[in-house]
Structures are given as structure tokens and as C-alpha cells.
Chains A and B, each alone.
Chain A
Amino acid sequence: MSARPQQRRHSARDLETILGVTSALAAPFDLMTMLAEVVSAAKQVLNADRGSVWLYDPEPDELVLEVATGIRPVRVPAGVGLVGACARNRQIINVPDCYADPRFDPGVDKSSGYRTRCMLTLPLVDHKDVLVGVMQVLNKRGGGVFDDHDEALATALAAQCAVALQRVRMTEAVIEGEKMRQELEMARVVQMSTLPASMPALPGYDVYGTFKPAELTGGDTFDLAALDQGLLVVLGDATGHGIAPALSVTQMQAMLRMAFRLGANLETAFKEVNNQLADTLASDRFITAFVGMLDANAHLLRFHSGGQGPILHFQAALGTCARYKPTSFPLGAMRLSALRPVVTLPMQPGDILLLLSDGIYEYHDAAGQQFGETRVEDIVRSHHGASMAQLSETLMDAVEAFAAGAPQDDDITVVLVKRDAAQTGIHRSFERSFDSIESIFAFTADAFARQGIDPEFLPVVDLAVEELFTNMVKYSTMSSAAVRIDLDVIDDGVQVTLTDYDVERFDVTQAPDADIELPIEQRKPGGLGLHLIRRLVDSIEYEYSRESRQSRTTFRKTRAGRPDSGGAGKKGEEHARD
């Protein structure tokens, strides 16, 4: 009978307090505020003089008391003392006289001058039964000790506090993760911004580089830049995950450019940048990097490679790839006092230097099989005639097809340097006159014979050349410059370019077709030339350069292009053309 009114009396007041506390606990989002809020709630509900909350850190299995921001927290192993025992057993411990309990450590009182009489220690366990921490309240106000009723009240409060604390801890983890993600994103932006915005134009060479970042981590970079020393060729790959690799490759790339801009040679730049990185990079970090310098006049590519390989050199004359090993350990791994000799690759016509990051060689499909070097070499052998932009695209497509949906785990970088294939073309210039026509035909016949071009194409080529040439003679009367004719062998056919110098723009390909349906009385001989060319060749293009006042007209004739060119054209086909 005596318990009921007491419980009712307490319930009304305490429920109000607990609800007030609960709503207060819903507000804070940072841990320190929440801890203060929980302590204040406990003191209020349990009418205690002091309180503290220890958080459980499962990794070292310890309890942590955050004293104040900036001060080293107090740590107690689980199982030790009252707090430790409470955490271990997940049981409330009510000690009416602390100095009589051997688990109590009076050391804290001694240093603070506070006198602890009684103490209630209770576990904070969230609704998923996860231990969040331990709450302690000391010294019941107005004397006396904590009773059964306080214990019941404290248990109810502890459940609320545990959930609130856990929520804040998880929110902080999410915020931390988001912060990390944003920082990573920024590091990636910096990393990408240092890549060359456009490919350097190097006469006689076709250079191309591309970079495809992985979703989260990766530390690739590349550089292709025309410098005083030659063409700088760099491929770098920093180890590790997160922001650090993205930033360290950016740093390396900037240092290399700076070193070369200051006139350093390859050896000095490689050594100095390595030593600088060795001094500044964290001891577990390094960057594998190829650093090469191409002398496009001597056609020699000299390089050092710190752990970056394989280095593939496609040799056009042999149709095979030679592989080169790195000359040194990765950049930044340790200081370099001596350097092995530089490797020099002679770039013969059609040769290609291929630098691909691990992201390609080690791209694995769902079954865990890697893309590997053989596939790369096969692609190069069969596509070496393509432009380097196309070869890069072919490689990327092949990797994607191989992966069959398996995600990209690492950055992918492709750097390609190709020396143009041997020029098999022949050219000659002709005086701007109808009298040149005989010698033009002699030139085409000779070029066909010397280059083994199918003589079947000769009448078509002669007709197209004559029509274009006579147009130039007739319409570009202001120019007295000779007209240059280039004749090049292409796959299964021939390409011819006529260059007209010191002329106004006149796009012959835009001239209208002749109307060949007119009755004979109305037909005129003009306009038939281009009309015929369009029907006999595969393609015809016109380019004009305002600066040099040059007009270039190029047409191609191949076996594949127009299989019916040897046969009769279909009637009415002419109408389909403009």
C-alpha cells in the first residue's frame, strides 16, 4: 500500500522531468554539448550534486572521460574500478559509502578536493543493445543515499541518454565522412587541373595522353609538354588511398615542370625531385613515375623511371613491342645519391612509346582476371597505324569490354608518343598553265609506277587532278605561284592534295553539280569537272588558310571506297546528289 502513492507522487513529477530531458536531448548535434546535456539531465532527475559520462571505446576496450575540449581525456580499461565493472557487467552499481568500497578510487577526490559520499553508476546501452558508455552521479542533494526509486528512474533516463549519445556519435561519423569526401573531391580537382589542357603539337610526332579517374581513390598523373629541352613525357602513380596520393602526384608534377623550366637536365630533375619527395612525403608513401625527354630532331627519347613499368616501345619495323624496366626505385622512397645510366630509345618511323598506369594492366573482371600486358600489346600491334587519340580510345574500349561491368578501382592513365610513319608520298610543283598538264600526267604515271599503286586508279586520279588544276589556272589568275601536287599511298588506294598558293578562298567542293538532264540545246560544257570528280573519288575536302593564303584540295580514291567506280553509274543517281 505504501509503494503506490509514493510511486504516483514520483511519477508525475519525474515523468515531467524525464520528458523535458528527452526533448532537451533531441536538440544537440555535437558530442560535447550532448555530454553536458546528459550530465545536467542526470543531475536534475536524480537530484545529484555532480555527474559524469564515460564513453565506451570498443577498439581498445576502454572507457573515456572527456573532461573538456583540448584536454587529454581520462581513460579506464573496461573491468577496472566502478566504471569499468559497470561497463563489463552492464549492471547498475549503487554505492552508498564510497570510501567503504574497494573498487572506489579516492585519487580523484584527492586531486580535486571534492568529497564523494555516495555514487550511482549505471550502463548506457542503446536500443540495439550496444554499450555506449557509463554514467555516474555523485552525492544525493540534501544528504541521504540513492534508493531503489532513484535506480529505477536512472535506468529509464540512461536508456534515453544512450540513444541520444549514439545518435550524435553516428551523426558525427557521417559528417566526418562527408567532410572527407568533400576534401577528396577537392584534391581530385587539384589533381585534374594540372593535367595538360591540350596536347603539344610536335612536327613529325603524334602525342596523346588521357586520364580517367577512379570513383574514390587513385593518384595518377601525366604530363606532355614542349619545353626547351624537348618534349617532356611523364606518367606518375602515387601509392595509397584518399587525399594524399592525389596531392602528392600533383606536387611531383609541379616540381618536375619547375625543375625543367629552370633548365635542369633529365638526370638532375629526376634526382632532385626524388630527393625533395623523399624529404617531404610520409615515410610509407612513394610515387612510381616515368620521366622522359624526347629530342624530336634526333628522334631519341631518354628516360628515367622510378618504379614505373612496363615501358612499352612498339617498333614499327619489327611489328613487336620491346619492354623496358624502371631505372630506379619509386620516387620519394628514399634519397638518391647515384643514378643508373639513362635509357635511350631510338624512335624510328612509326614507333610508339606506350605508358599505361596500373589501372589498365591490373583492371580485373568479375572473376578477378587481370587485363594484363598481352592484351595491350595485341591491341597496339593491330592498331598502330591509327592516330594516338584513336589508339587510346581503342585501349579504353577494350578495357571496358573486358571488365564487363566490373568497377574501376584505380585511376587509368594512357600516354602515347608516336613518331609519324615514313612519308611514302611524292610531290612536285607545276607552273600555273595548261601547258603543265602533260608533265602532270607524266608525274602521276611515274608516281603510280614507283609506288606500286593500282594503275586502274590512274585515269580517275588524272581526271580529278586535271579538273582541279585547270580550275586553279582559270580562276586564281592573280597568283603566279606554282601549284604543288602531293601523291600519297594510303590503305588500298591513293590520296592526292593540290596546294594553291597566294590565292583567295574558293571552295571548289561547294560548286553546284551540272544539270545533266537538260536537253542538249541547253547544256553547257562548264561545271562538269567537279560533277565528275564527286562521282569518281571516295572523298574530296577543301581547306583554306587565311594566314598563308593557301588553298588545299585533297581527294582519296580506294578500292573499298567506291566498288562500282569501274562499272556503270546508275541512272538517276545524279538526282540524289546536290
Chain B
Amino acid sequence: MLAIDFGPNDVVVISGRLDAAQSAAAQAFLDQVQGKVTLDCSALEYISSAGLGVLLKTQKRLMAADGKLRLSGVSRHLRDIFEYSGFDQIFEIEPAR
């Protein structure tokens, strides 16, 4: 299951699994955000290409309006996925501590 909502300091907190079945819900939420946004991924267990598509679409929209999406708390496994897909060149990624 997936949960996505605003946390403290306007950080968007995403948790659970961002898969093909959940990508529409995640997209619907992220379509509302504006400006410079941090997405806290420390509770995100899983992401597939469908989830990457959601992040990419959001980043394109934000950057077109001088905003951007920043990813924080990125686990080792997620970092592999981001790097293998070249998303480390598109997003500012802050690894999990």
C-alpha cells in the first residue's frame, strides 16, 4: 500500500510501495504541489518504472515553472534504481542517513 501526504515543514512524505497499481494515486497528489518541493522517501520501500514516471512528470511540470522536486532519505536500493535510470541527473538526491 502507499501513503502520500504533507508532513512537517511542507515536506511531502511518501511511504509504502510506489508501483503500477499505486502510481495514479501518487500522481494525483503530486499534481497539486508547487514550487520547490522535498519528497521524503525514507519510508518508501519500493519503486518501479511506473513510480519513476510519476516523479519524472512532476519534475518536468515543476521545472517549467522554476520549481523542482528534491528527494531525501533515499535508501540504498532506491538509489540504485535512480542511478540505473539516470534519475540522479534529473533530481537532487539526498541519501538516507
Contact = CB atoms under 8 A, between A and B. Distances in A.
Bind each other: yes
B80 A525 contact: no
Contact of A535 (B17, B49, B59, B84): B84
Contacts of B59: 520
B49 to A, nearest CB: 4
Interface string B31-66: 000000000000001101110111011011001000
A535 B84 CA distance: 7
Contacts of B84: 531-532, 535-536, 569, 574
A516 B88 CA distance: 10
A523 B56 contact: yes
A520 B21 contact: no
Nearest to A466: B48
Interface string A449-486: 00000000001101100110010000000000000000
A542 interface: no
Interface bin, chain B:
20 to 34
A459 B63 contact: no
Interface in A40-60: none
B90 A525 contact: no
Name the residue among B20, B52, B90 with the largest chain A CB count within 10 angstroms.
B20
Nearest to A518: B86
A462 B57 CA distance: 23
B20 A568 contact: no
A567 B50 contact: no
A569 B78 CA distance: 12
Given A520-B63, A523-B86, A566-B77, 14 more contacts: A437-B21, A441-B17, A467-B49, A520-B56, A523-B90, A525-B52, A526-B53, A531-B49, A531-B85, A532-B84, A535-B84, A536-B80, A568-B80, A568-B83
A92 B36 CA distance: 128
Contacts of B85: 514, 516, 528, 531-532
B49 A528 contact: yes
A528 B83 contact: no
Contact of A462 (B46, B49, B87): B46
Contact of B76 (A467, A520, A566, A574): A566
A434 interface: yes
A147 B48 CA distance: 118
A39 to B, nearest CB: 97
B79 interface: yes
Name the residue among A438, A462, A466, A531 with the largest chain B CB count within 10 angstroms.
A466
B86 A569 contact: no
A437 B56 contact: no
Contacts of A520: 56, 59-60, 63, 90
Name the residue among A517, A529, A567 with the largest chain B CB count within 10 angstroms.
A529
**Interface SS of chain A: helix, strand, loop or mixed?**
helix
A569 B80 contact: yes
Contact of A528 (B19, B46, B52, B79): B52
Nearest to A437: B21
Contact of B49 (A434, A435, A532, A566): A532
A459 B49 contact: no
Interface in A507-556: 514, 516-517, 520-521, 523-526, 528-529, 531-532, 535-536
B21 to A, nearest CB: 4
B13 interface: no
A148 B76 CA distance: 116
B21 A438 contact: yes
A437 B63 CA distance: 32
A454 to B, nearest CB: 13
A377 to B, nearest CB: 45
B81 interface: yes
Contacts of B1: 438
Contact of B80 (A462, A523, A567): A567
A565 B19 contact: no
Given A434-B20, A437-B19, A566-B80, A529 B90 contact: no
20 contacts: A434-B20, A438-B1, A438-B21, A459-B45, A459-B77, A462-B48, A466-B20, A470-B20, A517-B89, A520-B59, A521-B60, A523-B90, A524-B56, A528-B85, A529-B49, A532-B49, A566-B76, A568-B83, A569-B80, A569-B83
B46 A525 contact: no
A459 B16 CA distance: 12
Nearest to A464: B48
A517 B89 CA distance: 8
Contacts of B52: 525, 528
A531 B46 CA distance: 17
B30 to A, nearest CB: 13
A526 B56 CA distance: 11
Contact of A525 (B19, B56, B83): B56
A466 B80 contact: no
B90 to A, nearest CB: 5
A532 B81 contact: yes
Closest 7 A-B residue pairs measured CB to CB? A516-B86, A525-B53, A529-B49, A528-B49, A437-B21, A535-B84, A470-B20
A529 B81 CA distance: 10
Contacts of B89: 516-517
B36 to A, nearest CB: 16
A437 B84 CA distance: 23
A535 to B, nearest CB: 4
Interface string A416-440: 0000000000000000001101100
B69 to A, nearest CB: 11
A499 to B, nearest CB: 19
A467 B48 contact: yes
